[in-house]
Amino acid sequence: MLIASPTGSSICANCIEQARQIVKDEHSDSDVGFSAYASLDEIPKPTEIKAHLDTYVIGQEQAKRAVSVAVYNHYKRIMVQSDVDDVDLEKSNILLMGPTGTGKTLMARALADFLDVPFAIADATVLTEAGYVGEDVENILVRLLQSADYDVAATEAGIIYVDEIDKISRRSANASITRDVSGEGVQQALLKILEGTVAQVPPKGGRKHPEQPLVSINTKNILFIVGGAFEGIGDIIARRRKKTMLGFSKFDEEESRLKGADLLQVVEPEDLLQYGLIPELIGRLPVIAALEELSRKALRSILLEPRNALVKQYRKMFDLEGVELIFEDDALDAIIDIAQKYGTGARALRRSVEKVMLDIMYDVPTHKNLKRCTISKAVVTDKATPTLEY
């Protein structure tokens, strides 16, 4: 097959392929590997990474510190990965634990906005063992490859966040005697990817087929951050820490105060094993960061302070209509009261605000020359009409 150029000359397909191979070989000889930063001074410090996370995630100081340090060390590992030295810098994968709505996924998204390395977010709930209906574990690497614009060197220095990791726990702490294709089977498939292996992945995802071109990705320097709610693990931790006396069963004063995130702070590998994670996977997640339940003060801050704060979002939508939106303090307190009843953290705030604002946003566009709309406590609790000023 001959391919003609606008000047009238032609080149055959074999010559094109040989020229492509020459360019590829020349590029590989001169390439020293992907590097996001040229020097240590250019790498964002842990305090800078945490400051960016603070603009999105309220509270959760310990978790944000752990993630910031891990990402900073990951940048340093990328910078020196081509150097020959007597010390190998290894990664420390992170496990984020905390109730739903405390900011695990939001933290990952905030990191993705900030980082200069390829970043991908995957969901563990859709993964199955190879050969079954669902996604293969290697598809996680395909997402990272695509975010790196198919640059393999950049992919091998990326970061992956795997959400809902607790949903692939096995049905009991004992070894399964039957096929657990979406639980224990997925955990076993994740082992080598987390630790470091050369994985063969189809560049466009999907199933592997014979004679299909595959891309080799070394996962040794890919940082994994995994998160999950681990609903019910607090009971497992409490049972382990419970002290039994002859004829009585009680906690001492210190133990009795531990609950919620305080229990997660003292989680041990045996608790995760009892929950349903396999020992090999637990060993590959050396850093565990617990996210705490959101207090009233934190919920109020979430409403008002972050860049994506709910109040800011609604004010912006009303500004587009030329209307000033005002939330009274009592109204905000009432919204927080309702959200705390749902027990789903920050997600409950949006549900509460949406419920209040639905009828108001339905009517406001029909009002001509409306200047100001004020939401009071009565609007939230009694579905009263908001105060409108023209």
Give the single-character DSSP code of 43. S
What is the distance between the alpha carbons of residues 107 and 112, in angstroms, rounded to a whole number?
9
Find the farthest-apart pair of alpha carbons in the chain and give their distance in angstroms, rounded: 98
pLDDT of residue 214: 87
pLDDT at 224 over 90: yes
**Whether the Cβ atoms of residue 262 and residue 97 lie closer than 8 Å to each other:** no
Condensed to tens digits (0 to 9), the pLDDT of residues 334-343 reads: 999 999 888 7
Instruction: Return the amino acid letter for 88.
Output: D
Instruction: Look up the pTM and report it.
Output: 0.77
Return the HEC string of 327-386: ECHHHHHHHHHHHHHHCCCHHHHHHHHHHHHHHHHHHHHHCCCCCEEEECHHHHHCCCCC
What is the distance between the alpha carbons of residues 243 and 113, in angstroms, rounded to a whole number?
46
Average pLDDT over residues 343-364: 89
pLDDT at 206 over 80: no
Which of the four pLDDT bands, split at 50, 70 and 90, describes residue 304? very high
**Whether the Cβ atoms of residue 91 and residue 74 lie closer than 8 Å to each other:** yes
> What is the assigned CATH class of domain 296-389?
mainly alpha
What is the distance between the alpha carbons of residues 226 and 160, in angstroms, rounded to a whole number?
8
What is the distance between the alpha carbons of residues 205 and 118, in angstroms, rounded to a whole number?
17
Mean pLDDT computed over every residue of the chain: 83
**Whether the Cβ atoms of residue 68 and residue 50 lie closer than 8 Å to each other:** yes
What is the distance between the alpha carbons of residues 114 and 46, in angstroms, rounded to a whole number?
12
Q: Are strands 10-12 and 2-4 parallel, antiparallel or unpaired?
A: antiparallel
What SS3 class is residue 257?
Answer: helix
Condensed to tens digits (0 to 9), the pLDDT of residues 67-89 reads: 999 999 888 888 876 555 667 77
Identify which of 110, 124, 92 has the alpha carbon closest to the alpha carbon of residue 228. Answer: 124
Cα angle for residues 116, 118, 120 (degrees, 5° grid): 130
Condensed to tens digits (0 to 9), the pLDDT of residues 155-189 reads: 988 899 999 999 888 766 555 566 667 788 888 88
24 vs 108: which has the higher pLDDT: 108
Identify which of 186, 274, 174, 181 has the alpha carbon closest to the alpha carbon of residue 226. Answer: 186
What is the distance between the alpha carbons of residues 163 and 107, in angstroms, rounded to a whole number?
11
The residues facing 94 across adjacent strands are 225, 287
pLDDT of residue 334: 94
Topology (CATH) of 34-290: Rossmann fold (3.40.50)
